[in-house]
A and B are shown apart, each in its own frame.
Chain A
Amino acid sequence: MAYKKDKPTVDEVLALYDDCKNRYDESGLLNVFDTDNKIYELDFRNELMLPTEFEKEGIVLPTARDVLDSCVDNTDIYNVRVWVNKKGTSNKSDEEANLLRKFGLGVLYRNNVEASISPIRVAAKHYWLHGLGVFKTVWDADRWMGRPDRKDEESENDYAARIDEWRSETHDSIPIVIQGINPSNIMLDPYYDGNMFVFEVREELCFNVKQKFPNWGNPKTRKVTDKVEHISFWSKDYRCELYDREPVLKLGGGVVKHNYGFIPYVTIDTGLGNITNNNDLKKRYVGVLRYVRELLISESRDYSIGDVILKRTAFPSGYLTGPNAQSVTDISLKFGEYTPLPDGVELHDTVQKLPPDALLTWLGVASNYLAGHAAPPSVRGLGETGVRSGADRRLIIAQASTRYQYSNEAFKHGVAKVLSNCARIMKNVVPGDINVWARTPTDEFDIEIKKDRMKEPFTFYVEFAPISEEDEYRRHDDLERLYKGGLVTKNWARKQMSNVDPIAMEAEEQVEMLKNDQSIQQIISQYMAGKLAAAISKRQAADSINEPQPEMGMGMGAEQPNMPQGEMQPGRNVVSPIPNVPVPGGAQDMQNKLKQMRSQVPINPMQGQGGGGNRR
Chain B
Amino acid sequence: MNNLIQVIDEVVELKLKAVDRIIEEFIDPIGEIGNPEKLIGKKYEEWNPQDVQRLSQVYGTGDDTPLSKLIFKRVYDKVKQLEAEAL
Q: How far is the CB of B57 from chain A (nearest CB, A)?
A: 6
Segment of A102-110, A202-210, A540-548 engaged in the interface with chain B: A540-548
Could you tell me if B31 and A538 are in contact, using CB atoms closer than 8 angstroms? yes
* Min CB–CB distance A120 → chain B (angstroms): 31
A524 at the interface (CB under 8 A from B): yes
A1 within 8 A of B: no
Q: B19: which of A524, A535, A581 is its contact (CB, 8 Å)? A: A524
CB contact under 8 A between A531 and B23, given known A511-B11, A585-B75, A593-B72 = yes
A515 (CB) vs chain B CBs: closest residue? B11
Q: Given A507-B3, A534-B31, are A545 and B10 also a contact pair (CB < 8 Å)?
A: no
Q: Which of A94, A539, A585 contacts B33 (CB 8 A)?
A: A539
Chain B residues with Cβ under 8 A from A94's Cβ? 2
Chain A residues positioned under 8 Å from B50 (CB to CB): 549
How far apart are the CA atoms of A514 and B22 in the complex, in Å?
Answer: 20
Question: A542 with B58: in contact, given A584-B71, A590-B75 (CB under 8 Å)?
Answer: yes
Chain B hits for A539, CB < 8 A: 30-31, 33
Please state if A542 and B39 are interface contacts (CB–CB under 8 Å): yes
Cα distance A583–B53 when bound, in Å? 7
A589 to B68, CA, bound (A): 9
A532 adjacent to B27 (CB under 8 Å): yes
Complex-state Cα separation, A520 to B14, whole angstroms: 12
Complex CA gap A207/B10 in Å reads 61
Q: How far is the CB of A103 from chain B (nearest CB, A)?
A: 21
Contact of B7 among A510, A524, A542, A545 (CB under 8 A): A510
**Looking at B6, B8, B14, B33, which has the most chain A CB atoms within 10 Å of its CB?**
B33
Interface residues of B in 1-24 (CB under 8 A from A): 2-4, 6-8, 10-11, 14-15, 19, 22-23
Question: Does B54 lie within 8 Å of A535, measured CB to CB?
Answer: no
A527 at the B interface (CB under 8 A): yes
Establish whether residues A514 and B55, one from each chain, have CB atoms under 8 Å apart when the complex forms: no
Within residues 41 to 65 of chain B, which ones have a CB less than 8 A from any CB in chain A? 41, 47, 49-50, 52-58, 61, 63
Does A365 sit within 8 A of B, measured CB to CB?
no
Check if A510 sits within 8 Å of B31, measured CB to CB. Answer: no
507-539 of chain A: CB within 8 A of chain B? 507, 510-511, 514-515, 520, 524, 527-528, 531-532, 534-536, 538-539
Select from chain A the residue with minimum beta-carbon distance to B26: A532
- The 9 A-B pairs with the shortest beta carbon distances in the complex, nearest first, are A535-B31, A542-B33, A535-B30, A514-B11, A541-B58, A585-B71, A510-B7, A584-B71, A581-B61
Contacts A94-B2, A584-B68 aside, 15 further interface pairs with beta carbons under 8 A come to: A503-B3, A507-B6, A514-B7, A524-B19, A528-B19, A531-B23, A532-B30, A534-B31, A539-B30, A541-B58, A542-B33, A578-B53, A583-B53, A584-B71, A593-B72
